[in-house]
Amino acid sequence: MDFSERIFLNNLAQTTDEPYLITIERAEGIYLYSPDGKKYRDLISGIGVSNIGHRHPKVVRAIQDQLEKHLHVMVYGEFIQDTPNRLAKKLTELLPPNLNCSFLVNSGTEANEGALKLAKRFTGRTEIVSFRKSYHGSTHGSMSVSGNEVKKQAFRPLLPDVRFIDFNEPKDLSQITEHTACVIVETIQGDAGVRVPDVSYMKALRKRCDDAGALLILDEIQCGIGRTGKLFAFEHFQIVPDILTVAKAFGGGLPIGAFISDKKIMKCLTHDPMLGHITTFGGNPVCCASALATLEVITEHNLLEQVEAKGKLFEKLLKHPAIKEIRRIGLMFAIDFDSAERVNRIVLQGKALGVITYWFLSHPYSFRIAPPLTITEDEIKESCQLILQAIDNA
């Protein structure tokens, strides 16, 4: 064990007993480099973060420009700052008219916490409806509405008055009632192994929320910001949420999230009590500069138009008798095998070969692929060869 590994294992808190344990010195595009020069192809985008690749030049320039002006100057919501203003304006231009007001926060789980508070405050109701197999974050409120009971059990009691229904199951929608403050749902269930709902189901969900007076929160922390071939995944389903949450790829590599709604709804957080939701570092100008540049790269460089063709190429090349099923939307994949043990071996063999795939928390029979949208055809072909070799080796 070298010095860096010893510090990592002993002086940084660990999330598992078996971390991935590669040392990263630098990153560029789809590649990560270790100090010894080994190159890894990052096919998971840092778990859905680096959708435009690592250190995109436009993002780096935007960060550098903001550094020349100022860093943090005040807690969120008090000072007028140009960069957060421009980011909010850009979001408003890209989203439907009712999603015109953004509350900028630090992460995905904080975005979901804020969305839940907003829905309860606006409706005056307490019940929250969520979905089995969902994942919304690991803070107490977000964990309370996540569907993985194994991950939750050690941390009870959690938030009360949460009801779980089955995803993409129309008959369960009757459980959304006049007592329901909100329904929170991943537009595409990510951690459950890339579960894509039917368009008819999402329309029925939207209608049921309208009929019951419940707000619909769409969690696009994993599936948003171009991952599915649309800038926002709800665009596939001809519906619009009352509250949208984004994070991960939103920041282009820096930590930022947002919950976004109508100004008429968002205004209720300003009174009774005032400061109904607060954050010290939310709207950090450097993170906002990175986020704004990321949105500009995606929308101005025709990345969305390339996503589906690249996804199909992956699907065409990943043919192997051991693969049981591939679920995909855009460049978001779950690849199923017959056992969690086989998946574990494949992921580790891939690491040895220099290609990074990864596990799902709640679906151990699959591994994930979610590469940067900027990946080239040649890089896809090379990566698929390595994945197939990893499957053979496993």
pLDDT digits over 177-198, tens only? Answer: 999 999 999 999 999 999 999 9
Q: How confident is the model at residue 139 (pLDDT cuts 50, 70, 90)?
A: very high
Domains in the chain (CATH in brackets) are 3-56+302-393 (3.90.1150.10), 58-300 (3.40.640.10)
pLDDT of residue 42: 98
- What pTM, to 2 d.p., does this model score? 0.97
What are 268-286's pLDDT values in tens digits?
Answer: 999 999 999 999 999 999 9
Distance CA 226, CA 216 (A): 21
pLDDT of residue 361: 83
Closest CA to 54 of 252, 256, 330: 252
CB 110 within 8 A of CB 93: no
Is the pLDDT score of 1 beyond 80? no
CB 53 within 8 A of CB 47: no
- What six digits make up the tokens of 26? 């630098």
Closest CA to 367 of 355, 354, 378, 379: 355
Terminal Cα distance for the chain, rounded: 25
CB 160 within 8 A of CB 147: no
User: DSSP secondary structure string, 376-388?
Assistant: -HHHHHHHHHHHH
| Site of tokens 């569907």 | 147
Distance CA 65, CA 143 (A): 37
> How does DSSP classify residue 214?
P
Q: What is the mean pLDDT of residues 119-127?
A: 98
pLDDT of residue 87: 98
Is the pLDDT score of 108 beyond 80? yes
Which residues make Cβ contacts (< 8 Å) with residue 66, sequence separation at least 6? 83, 285, 286, 288, 289
Closest CA to 247 of 75, 66, 85, 114: 114
- From the CB of residue 86, how many other CB atoms can be counted at a distance below 10 Å? 13
If you compute the radius of gyration of the chain from its CA atoms, what whole number of angstroms results? Answer: 21
pLDDT of residue 288: 98
What are 207-263's pLDDT values in tens digits?
Answer: 999 999 999 999 999 999 999 999 999 999 999 999 999 999 999 999 999 999 999
Distance CA 119, CA 345 (A): 43
pLDDT of residue 354: 98
Distance CA 242, CA 210 (A): 10
pLDDT of residue 221: 98
What are 148-173's pLDDT values in tens digits?
Answer: 999 999 999 999 999 999 999 999 99
| Cα distances (angstroms) measured from residue 308 to each of 146, 230, 313, 332 | 29, 10, 9, 10
pLDDT of residue 138: 95
